[in-house]
């Protein structure tokens, strides 16, 4: 199929050159952005008298027809063309004749593709936020039901202090909240329109860049035409945001995998989100969680690949930059399905509250509280720490918990132990007495949940209005 630039050439492009050069196989995904940008560009050309209003009108109508036909499944994007830009232009000329040849006045594919990518990434950041907000709703439901589901909190994957399910998931709520905010930051920074930058040095036509920017929903036109055609920071920023999302999803997946193990049995993953073994009939494996963890590496790879692609490119546009698309598409598709699956898996997962509470009861998760108890009786914390350390050693030898010890046994370690110790280091009081802001005690947690609910409602509303 004819290329847009045949005039200067006397020989055919080599087949291998076409294979490495043609991008339509993947950039056809930008058809909607490409056509929408062209419609506004044509209107602007007409409005500025660069082409006649009539020609602009016919171009617009032709492009709208193409848009509708692709959307309605009546026009298939042919992969015989070099890229989506060539396909749309050829189809326009096929439909409306010579006026179609005026569309590319004052424009280069360099600013055109920069526009397409900005529009696309802008739309996608919003879609990812949508999915994250849904996931946050599910996380918050777990928090609401989990304020008195006790579980061990870990450091070094060793039992540390008791927390609640609500508190544990509250941590993920915060992570995903920052992820949502990061996407807004990214969208705000990319919200400038590169069209009108030409190949690199603007054009001699009296383009109205403000009009184009406004019509396409951008805050303003970009400032420097060389930067405009060679900047892919916003793709990299979005992929960094996706990488952080994946990192959070991966940590949570890792926990689900541990909790689902036979040794822990804290959770039961729904059948719909697990798979079996072809040889071991008893197996129900947490494959979805493992795949989310695994796909994290893939999204990081996409980010790294684009960073590496960009690092040596002299100004302005170079064809290396065509590599932005597959990396971006892959990262977006991968992250989005992972967010959706995490949401679905958490929406159906069963928490074994009894097993979790029993686990929180042993492993000396109340040792800090026992030391704090002695502090309330006037023992300096460092001494109290040493006393409880020896007490724990004794318990390990006796295969007992602190609560199993008799007063007589306790007093061998410190004369300050009294009957009220049992209540002070019970699971309930270890959790409930932690009421500083951000702690797992019910009062603090209920406040955290209330604030989180408000944040979520506000953001769902804000998002719907955008
Ligand atoms: N397919 C190209 C890309 O994605 C479009 C821009 C082509 N520009 C050029 N001068 N060949 O980057």
| Confidence at residue 8, expressed as pLDDT on a 0 to 100 scale | 85
Task: Give the separation between CA 129 and CA 466, rounded to whole angstroms.
Answer: 12
Task: Tell me: do 187 and 286 sit in the same domain.
Answer: yes
Tell whether 446 is covered by a domain.
no
322 CB within 6 A, ligand 1: yes
3-state secondary structure (DSSP) of residue 298: helix
Task: Tell me: do 308 and 326 sit in the same domain.
Answer: yes
Tell whether 314 is covered by a domain.
yes
| Confidence at residue 45, expressed as pLDDT on a 0 to 100 scale | 98
How many domains does the chain contain in total?
Answer: 3
CA of 376 to the centre of ligand 1 (A): 72
| Confidence at residue 312, expressed as pLDDT on a 0 to 100 scale | 97
Task: Give the separation between CA 357 and CA 359, rounded to whole angstroms.
Answer: 5
DSSP letters for 387-444: HHHHHHHHHHHHT--GGGS-HHHHHTT-TT--THHHHHTSHHHHHHT--STTSSSHHH
Find the domain containing 134 and state its range: 113-199+223-359
Domain limit, last residue, from 305, 334, 359: 359
| Confidence at residue 4, expressed as pLDDT on a 0 to 100 scale | 81
110 CB within 6 A, ligand 1: yes
Q: Tell me how far CA of residue 91 lies from CA of 38, 100, 197, in angstroms.
A: 13, 9, 25
| Confidence at residue 1, expressed as pLDDT on a 0 to 100 scale | 64
The neighbour count for residue 423, using CB atoms within 10 Å, is 11
Question: Average pLDDT, whole number, for the chain?
Answer: 96
| Confidence at residue 284, expressed as pLDDT on a 0 to 100 scale | 84
Task: Tell me: do 416 and 312 sit in the same domain.
Answer: no
| Confidence at residue 103, expressed as pLDDT on a 0 to 100 scale | 98
Q: Tell me how far CA of residue 425 lies from CA of 266, 369, 439, in angstroms.
A: 23, 6, 17
Residue 183's CATH number: 1.20.200.10
Tell whether 216 is covered by a domain.
no
Task: Tell me: do 47 and 132 sit in the same domain.
Answer: no
**pLDDT per residue over 26-77, tens digit each?**
999 999 999 999 999 999 999 999 999 999 999 999 999 999 999 999 999 9
Q: What number does the ligand 1 atom closest to the CA of 84 have?
A: 1
327 CB within 6 A, ligand 1: no
**pLDDT per residue over 260-291, tens digit each?**
999 999 999 999 999 888 888 888 899 999 99
CA of 82 to the centre of ligand 1 (A): 9
Tell whether 215 is covered by a domain.
no
Tell whether 388 is covered by a domain.
yes
CA of 195 to the centre of ligand 1 (A): 14
Segments in the chain below pLDDT 70: 1-2
């Amino acid at each position: 199929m004819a290329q847009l630039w045949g005039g200067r050439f006397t020989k055919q492009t080599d087949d291998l050159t076409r294979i490495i050069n043609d991008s339509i196989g993947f950039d056809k995904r930008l058809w909607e952005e490409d056509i929408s940008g062209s419609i506004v560009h044509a209107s602007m050309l007409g409005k500025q008298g660069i082409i006649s209003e009539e020609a602009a009108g016919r171009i617009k109508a032709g492009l709208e027809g193409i848009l509708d036909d692709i959307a309605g499944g009546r026009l298939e994007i042919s992969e015989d063309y070099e890229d989506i830009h060539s396909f749309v232009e050829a189809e326009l000329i096929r439909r409306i004749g010579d006026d179609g040849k005026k569309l590319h006045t004052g424009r280069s594919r360099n600013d055109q593709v920069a526009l397409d990518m900005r529009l696309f990434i802008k739309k996608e950041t919003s879609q990812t936020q949508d999915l994250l907000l849904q996931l946050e709703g599910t996380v918050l439901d777990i928090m609401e039901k989990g304020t008195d589901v006790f579980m061990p909190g870990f450091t070094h994957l060793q039992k540390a202090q008791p927390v609640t399910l609500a508190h544990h998931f509250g941590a993920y709520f915060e992570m995903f909240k920052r992820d949502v905010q990061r996407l807004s930051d990214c969208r705000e920074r990319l919200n400038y329109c590169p069209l009108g930058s030409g190949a690199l040095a603007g054009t001699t036509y009296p383009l109205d860049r403000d009009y184009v920017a406004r019509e396409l929903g951008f805050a303003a036109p970009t400032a420097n035409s060389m930067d405009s055609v060679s900047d892919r920071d916003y793709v990299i920023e979005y992929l960094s945001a996706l990488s952080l999302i994946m990192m959070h999803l991966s940590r949570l997946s890792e926990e689900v995998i541990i909790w689902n193990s036979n040794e822990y049995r804290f959770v039961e993953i729904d059948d719909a989100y697990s798979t079996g073994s072809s040889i071991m009939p008893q197996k129900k494996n947490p494959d979805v969680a493992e795949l989310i963890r695994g796909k994290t590496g893939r999204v990081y790879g996409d980010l790294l690949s684009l960073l590496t692609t960009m690092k040596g490119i002299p100004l302005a546009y170079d064809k290396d930059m065509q590599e932005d698309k597959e990396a971006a598409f892959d990262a977006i598709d991968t992250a989005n399905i992972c967010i959706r699956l995490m949401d679905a898996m958490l929406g159906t997962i069963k928490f074994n509250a009894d097993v979790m509470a029993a686990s929180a009861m042993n492993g000396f998760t109340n040792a800090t509280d026992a030391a704090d108890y002695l502090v309330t009786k006037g023992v300096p914390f460092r001494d109290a720490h040493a006393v409880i350390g020896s007490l724990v050693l004794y318990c390990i030898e006796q295969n007992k918990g602190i609560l199993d010890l008799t007063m007589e046994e306790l007093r061998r370690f410190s004369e300050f132990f009294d009957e009220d110790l049992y209540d002070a280091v019970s699971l309930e009081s270890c959790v409930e007495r932690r009421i500083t802001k951000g702690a797992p005690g019910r009062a603090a947690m209920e406040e955290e949940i209330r604030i989180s609910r408000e944040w979520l409602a506000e953001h769902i509303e804000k998002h719907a209005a955008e």
